[in-house]
């Protein structure tokens, strides 16, 4: 998921569905905990906010739920449609639904939407009374080592720090926001989830780091990516020797009164 920002609609991030499937295929695979929390039921109308290429939307649909996906990336919306998902091109800050859904679900997308009040306004409006909002995204401290390495690599090559920041709130801060928007929070937790990177640090930087490098020329981006990968060569590794990224997830379940 999935390209959102307020000042720059794509935050320098463009998604190529083929690269996404290779370098980020683990993202929907690891969305299982959020899907279990949602517990989709046959006949429910579910909005998948930041549906990406529709892998998890398809999983939700297996329950018999009617799933609509939205994403701000035209390429990923097309990829989701190719899977048979009803998907619409829509910025998560400007959802255009009113009392249409029993549940809104979101996996690994909300950290791209950097004006969370606008997102929550739209989610609330999209839900019928009693509807639920369930999801998972980056929490406070998420991928902090990777971000620090990219910033250090920029400095080492004479570039200033990137001002870009994903939205990675604490559980307390996000619970407060949910309350302010009229949600009852049934569960919110921060989970440390060291995450194996199937195509290594280089693959992660290739598919996800664009917003931290958007002000640089293509050769400078490549130089900084290589330097950052070097700085991260001592990341811990799993049993298959894959580097483990320092993912922190914020998982929540809320409902509207
Ligand atoms: C995440 O899923 O936590 C994430 C992915 C890319 C960039 C930042 C965070």
- Residue with the smallest CA separation from ligand 1 atom 5 is 208
Binding site membership of 205 for ligand 1 (Cβ less than 6 Å): no
> Taking the model in full, what pTM does it have?
0.93
pLDDT band of residue 18 (cuts 50, 70, 90) is confident
Contact 3, 15 (CB under 8 A): yes
- Residue with the smallest CA separation from ligand 1 atom 6 is 208
Binding site membership of 181 for ligand 1 (Cβ less than 6 Å): no
Binding site membership of 143 for ligand 1 (Cβ less than 6 Å): yes
Categorise residue 113: left if φ over 0, alpha if ψ from -120 to 50, beta otherwise: beta
Tokens of 125: 């409006």
- What is the residue-averaged pLDDT of the chain? 94
Is the pLDDT assigned to residue 11 strictly greater than 80?
Answer: no
Ligand 1 probe mutation, 109, 166, 199, 244, most atoms within 8 A of CB: 166
Is the pLDDT assigned to residue 10 strictly greater than 60?
Answer: no
Binding site membership of 166 for ligand 1 (Cβ less than 6 Å): yes
- Cα of 214 vs centre of ligand 1, distance in Å, is 16
The mean pLDDT value for 7-31 works out to 72
Q: Please enumerate, as own/partner, the contacts of 190-193 that have beta carbons within 8 Å and a separation of 24 or more.
A: 190/139, 190/140, 190/248, 190/249, 190/250, 190/251, 191/33, 191/139, 191/248, 191/249, 191/250, 191/251, 192/246, 192/247, 192/248, 193/30, 193/247, 193/248, 193/249
pLDDT greater at residue 19 or residue 87? 87
- State the pLDDT at residue 8: 40
Question: Domain 17-141+166-196+245-255 is in which class?
Answer: alpha beta
% of residues, the chain, pLDDT over 70: 95
Contact 11, 32 (CB under 8 A): no
Using CA of residue 163, residue 89, residue 124, residue 131, what is the dihedral sign?
Answer: negative
Is the pLDDT assigned to residue 24 strictly greater than 90?
Answer: no
Tell me the per-residue pLDDT of 200-245, one tens digit each, with 9 for 90 and over.
Answer: 999 999 999 999 999 999 999 999 999 999 999 999 999 999 999 9
- State the pLDDT at residue 3: 42
Domain ranges of the chain: 17-141+166-196+245-255
Tell me the per-residue pLDDT of 115-168, one tens digit each, with 9 for 90 and over.
Answer: 999 999 999 999 999 999 999 999 999 999 999 999 999 999 999 999 999 999
Give, to the nearest 10 degrees, the angle between helix 144-156 and helix 218-231: 120
- Residue with the smallest CA separation from ligand 1 atom 9 is 138
Within a 13 Å sphere around the CA of 80, how many CA atoms are in the beta-carbon half?
34
């Amino acid at each position: 998921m999935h390209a959102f920002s307020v000042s720059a609609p794509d935050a320098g991030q463009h998604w190529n569905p083929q690269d996404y499937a290779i370098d980020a295929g683990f993202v929907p695979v690891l969305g299982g905990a959020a899907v279990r929390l949602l517990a989709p039921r046959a006949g429910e109308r579910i909005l998948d906010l930041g549906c990406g290429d529709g892998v998890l939307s398809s999983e939700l649909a297996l329950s018999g739920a009617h799933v609509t996906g939205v994403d701000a990336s035209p390429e990923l919306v097309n990829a989701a449609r190719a899977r048979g998902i009803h998907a619409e091109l829509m910025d998560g800050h400007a959802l255009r639904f009113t009392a249409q859904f029993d549940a809104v679900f979101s996996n690994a997308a909300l950290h791209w939407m950097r004006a969370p009040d606008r997102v929550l306004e739209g989610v609330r409006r999209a839900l019928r009374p009693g509807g639920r909002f369930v999801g998972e995204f980056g929490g406070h401290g998420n991928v902090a080592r990777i971000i620090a390495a990219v910033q250090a690599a920029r400095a080492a090559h004479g570039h200033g720090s990137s001002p870009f920041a994903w939205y990675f709130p604490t559980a307390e801060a996000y619970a407060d926001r949910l309350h302010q928007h009229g949600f009852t929070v049934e569960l919110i937790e921060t989970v440390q989830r060291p995450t194996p990177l199937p195509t290594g640090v280089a693959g992660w930087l290739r598919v996800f780091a664009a917003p931290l490098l958007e002000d640089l020329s293509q050769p400078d981006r490549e130089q900084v990516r290589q330097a950052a990968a070097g700085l991260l060569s001592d990341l811990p590794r799993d049993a298959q020797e894959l580097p483990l990224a320092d993912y922190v997830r914020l998982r929540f379940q809320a409902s509207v009164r």
